[in-house]
Amino acid sequence: MPELPEVEVVRRGLAPFVTGATVSSVEILEPRSLRRHAEGPDDFAGRLTGARLLAPERRGKFLWVPIADADAALLVHLGMSGQVLVNPTADDRHLRVRILLADGSRVDFADQRIFGSLAIDRLMPVPERPSTRSARSGSRMPVPERAAGESKGIPSQVAHIARDPLDPAFSDRDFVRRIRAKRTETKRALLDQTLVSGIGNIYADEALWAARVHPRQPTETLSAVAAGRILAAVRDVMTRALDEGGTSFDELYVNVNGQSGYFSRSLTAYARQDQPCLRCGRPMVRESFMNRGSHYCRNCQRLR
């Protein structure tokens, strides 16, 4: 499933085409791709047609495009195989929804497995926070609740998830406190979108390898230093993944131009079972985890 870097790559690619654009028509080829829109396909198409779109935004793995003069947004969830394609040269065989813009541009939503979805969702107000404390510096500083350029609301279907580590208003202090208060395994905590959003299986494995923390390390045993080290590793790996266009293992994840990301060439843990650890040379292992797998080094990431 696309994680934060992949969704952010799509958001950045989509922004120049939809910001300020007006929707001229909507074609729905697969109603199942609108299952998050409870009012049905006709309502979806009717509300979106004629709407003027604002700059796309993102939280974690969710992407949305606010609608001007309305407390609503076009919400996009890529799921396992969803793709947002701008001005493709040919129809994708898994095309589900086509959105035509007044300037002649076209935005297609393709989805092989139909686990992704589109919806028009209401925007909920986001309250301001006066200040927070940085876990890295320990200094008191004002932090806006909304990132610069962000609209004054968040889709109702996204409101329950936490901010992600690349959000300017993310609180390091709160993250460290909350992960240490949990009674679970560290990797499970990282995948909990109510604690921190945007992290999936790939980047959890990568960050834990970089921080030298075992995936099954009990969260209540983490020191504040170790928790901060994990968070720093998450930010680092996601930033590097963004620079390389995200991680693509097959044709399911592509950017808006249909191009794959190249971070798979830089992976240090994920999908490297039986290969030598890039730190110590011991074989990397893979253990079953939540119907997926955890990849780590038994020597560098010892269960303590």
Mind listing the pLDDT tens digit for each residue in 215-254?
Answer: 999 999 999 999 999 999 999 999 998 888 766 555 555 6
- Residue 130 confidence (pLDDT): 38
- Answer yes or no: do 73 and 195 share one domain: no
- Answer yes or no: do 116 and 193 share one domain: no
| Within-domain flag for 197 | yes
- Answer yes or no: do 289 and 230 share one domain: yes
| Within-domain flag for 84 | yes
Dump strand ranges (E) for 51-139. Answer: 57-59, 62-66, 72-77, 82-86, 95-101, 106-111, 117-125, 132-133
| 141 CB burial (10 A radius; 0-12, 13-18, 19+) | exposed
Catalytic residues, by residue number, are 2-3, 61, 292
- Answer yes or no: do 119 and 165 share one domain: no
- Residue 219 confidence (pLDDT): 98
In the predicted model, residues of the chain with pLDDT beneath 70 are 1, 127-152, 246-255, 259-264
- Answer yes or no: do 178 and 101 share one domain: no
- The model's pTM is 0.86
- Answer yes or no: do 166 and 223 share one domain: yes
* Per-residue CA distances from 156 to 73, 206, 219 (Å): 10, 31, 30
